Amino acid sequence: PKVPSGSLSADSIKIKKEVANAFVKRKKRSSPYERYFEYYKSPMEQMHEQCENYPPCDYLSDQVGFALAYNRFFG
């Protein structure tokens, strides 16, 4: 079927796997230290995520700061 100019079909943008791998490279982990911190988050990072995932806390943290908002809902 003819595709109107200006729009692409999924068939027209397929490329070979080898070609895709030439410009999409995965980042290699350089040390066990980096791998460790990818899997184990700091307590502060966990607290930030807990607050961000709870909309009232996330909204309040934009108004008064993270520490006050976190203590208001979870402290």
Report how far apart the first and last C-alpha atoms of the chain are (Å, whole number).
Answer: 62
CA distance 6 to 39: 44
Most confident of 6-10, 39-43, 51-55: 51-55
Domain count, the chain: 1
Q: What is the pTM of this model?
A: 0.49
* Digit-coded pLDDT (tens) for 24-51: 666 666 677 777 777 788 889 999 999 9
Q: Please indicate, yes or no, if residue 56 is contained in any of the structural domains.
A: yes
Q: Please indicate, yes or no, if residue 69 is contained in any of the structural domains.
A: yes
Q: Please indicate, yes or no, if residue 64 is contained in any of the structural domains.
A: yes
CA distance 7 to 12: 10
Q: Would you state the pLDDT for residue 34?
A: 73
